[in-house]
Amino acid sequence: MTKVREFKEKERYTMNLLVKNVTKGVTQKGAPYLNLVLQDNTGTIDGKLWDASEADMAAAKPGHVEKLAFEVLNYNNNLQLRVNRIADLDQDLIDLSEYVMSAPVEIGELKARISGYMDSITDPTLKALVKGMDAFVGKKFYDYPAASSIHHSYLGGLAEHTLGMADLAEAIAGQYPVLNRDLLIAGVLVHDLGKTAELGGLVSNEYTLEGKLIGHISIGHGWLMETARELGLEEKQETLLLRHMILSHHGRMEFGSPVLPAIPEAEVLSFIDNIDAKMNTLKTALSTMKPGQWTQRMFSMDNRQFYKADLD
């Protein structure tokens, strides 16, 4: 079946797509219409359904995979769908992996490599805390994106981001003896686990109420306090240092860290979080551009534009 990434201007298709978002509008002439965001596992595209009937409006359900008939138009140099019909489907028969994007690395491999990092920690307190947190979060660790839209926003994104950081951490810890390798790796493995309560998951792609009122940093820190108490490790220095790493990993108070890094490992953690997120963001932004072009201003890159050079 044709995929979103392969859509061509002026072609017509009838096919299933995930309805990511629906808003209603009314034209200047008073006719109702629907703004749709549609998606499969290769990309996302905007659509309009003009002269929407009551039936259309009832059928268009955010989070559902639905059957649509549409034509592909070019609007300001972007493709857009003009949808003619929409019908809901029996969601139980859907294979969701066709409709949400996945990490480029296979989930099984992500799990194996992250487990390898957990096992490689030799400090018993840190290993127990990391494994306790992993058990607490469970499968969600591999189902979640790392952010709702900015970077690694796909199935397995949180795990892929964690693994990318662990690889960076291993290389940097090997280069600077002032760093305790076990503490840095443990910090990487737990720093973002609170995101599994902050975000609603891939399909809804929204912040939860807990996410907006509390935030993943404080959620994850609270879980680590609970985990440590259950394991009888709440008085250990390693526990205090690992809690500090979760709290300080955004590196600046205005980015939501209530304390700033005060140990070398926390300082490095905030750097590698930043590097891995930005490399993923730039990869995504530049991958669909031609050499010699500039990106739009990118909010998550301090509102800068980036240039795609013409090197081999």
Binders of a copy of itself in range 207-226 (CB under 8 A):
209-210, 212-215, 217-218, 221-223, 225-226
Q: Report the distance separating Cα 272 and Cα 48, nearest Å.
A: 41
Candidate list 82, 85, 113, 131; residue touching a copy of itself; CB under 8 A: 82
Q: Report the distance separating Cα 47 and Cα 38, nearest Å.
A: 7
Q: Report the distance separating Cα 122 and Cα 53, nearest Å.
A: 63
Q: Which of positions 225-254 make contact with a copy of itself (CB under 8 A)?
A: 225-226, 229, 237-238, 240-241, 243-244, 247, 253-254
Q: Report the distance separating Cα 61 and Cα 306, nearest Å.
A: 36
Site string for a copy of itself, 115-154 (x = CB under 8 A): --------x-------------------------------
Q: Does 194 bind a copy of itself (CB under 8 A)?
A: no
For residue 9, give Cα distances in angstroms to 48, 173, 237, 244, 293.
15, 50, 61, 52, 22
**What is the three-class DSSP state of 21?**
strand
How many CA atoms, within 13 angstroms, populate the side-chain half-sphere of residue 40? 17
Q: Does 58 bind a copy of itself (CB under 8 A)?
A: no
Q: Does 305 bind a copy of itself (CB under 8 A)?
A: yes
Site string for a copy of itself, 1-40 (x = CB under 8 A): ----------------------xxxxxxxx-xx-------
Query: Which range of residues in 12-20, 84-92, 112-120, 262-270 is near a copy of itself by CB under 8 A?
Result: 262-270
Tokens in use for 172?
Answer: 């940097």
Q: Does 258 bind a copy of itself (CB under 8 A)?
A: yes
Amino acid at 112: A
Angle, CA of 303, 157 and 216, to the nearest 5°: 75
Q: How many residues line the site for a copy of itself (CB under 8 A)?
A: 87
Candidate list 92, 175, 290, 296; residue touching a copy of itself; CB under 8 A: 175
Q: Does 77 bind a copy of itself (CB under 8 A)?
A: yes
Q: Does 275 bind a copy of itself (CB under 8 A)?
A: yes
Q: Report the distance separating Cα 51 and Cα 88, nearest Å.
A: 18
Tokens in use for 312?
Answer: 């081999």
Nearer to a copy of itself, 294 or 299 (CB): 294
Q: Does 311 bind a copy of itself (CB under 8 A)?
A: yes
Candidate list 16, 102, 274, 300; residue touching a copy of itself; CB under 8 A: 274
CB 50 within 8 A of CB 33: yes
